Amino acid sequence: MTALTLTINGNMVSARPGQTLLQVARENGVDIPTLCQMDELENWGGCRLCMVDVAGSSRPMPACTTTAQEGMVVVTETERLQEYRRMILELLLAERTHTCAVCVLNGQCELQGLAAHLGVDHVRFDYLGPVLPMDTSHERYGLDHNRCILCTRCVRVCDEVEGAHTWDIKGRGITSCLVADLDRPWGDSRSCTDCGKCVQMCPTGALFRKGATVGEMVKEKAFLPRIMKRRRT
């Protein structure tokens, strides 16, 4: 297999054909933030936090869905890119209700962690704060739409790994919501296997284990590579 050669942040690196820029960057110790991307799941390119500058392109490109090409010159961190990322996080924080102090994932939340890492200490946009319901009809788990960032990790892991395809997204824009079995209460779902993979994949406190107290919920995502490795062997 012929290796590709490209440049990331001034350093020449090698890549395998078919790899994405995000994969190549991570293999070479370059951190690019993401919220919707998850190793072993199909790349979706929804959160746009992984945008990078590619020489010859007039606009930033999503690293998770852009395939590495011979001779590419890529820059992953500039003030413009950092400002884009901060703006995206501010928009996510403004769209729903993210009150960290009373969230079961406080201290473990990926959205919270990225906001701290990128210096998002205030939001410049008007808070939309739609009043959305909670679905606690499931025996073991709960869904808080107010904390959902619509990253679709839960949708993809349920479809691609568990094979149940319980979850989907309904609506458009601010009215978009996660729904089970074409919009029935989660506890009434006929397709849900109660595996909990969706809960573990959720980057925020939107999907949680019932009974967890504030700051107690810890999500374990390492099971996914283990499952996929066993399937491949």
Query: What's the angle, vertex CA 113, arms to CA 107 and CA 118, rounded to 5?
Result: 150
Q: Which domains does the chain have, with CATH numbers?
A: 4-77 (3.10.20.740), 103-232 (3.30.70.20)
Residues 187-214 have pLDDT tens digits of 999 999 999 999 999 999 999 999 988 8
Residue 1 is predicted with a pLDDT of: 62
Residue 184 is predicted with a pLDDT of: 96
Q: Does residue 31 surpass a pLDDT of 70?
A: yes
Element of type H or E holding 94: helix 79-95
Element of type H or E holding 208: strand 207-209
pTM over 0.85: yes
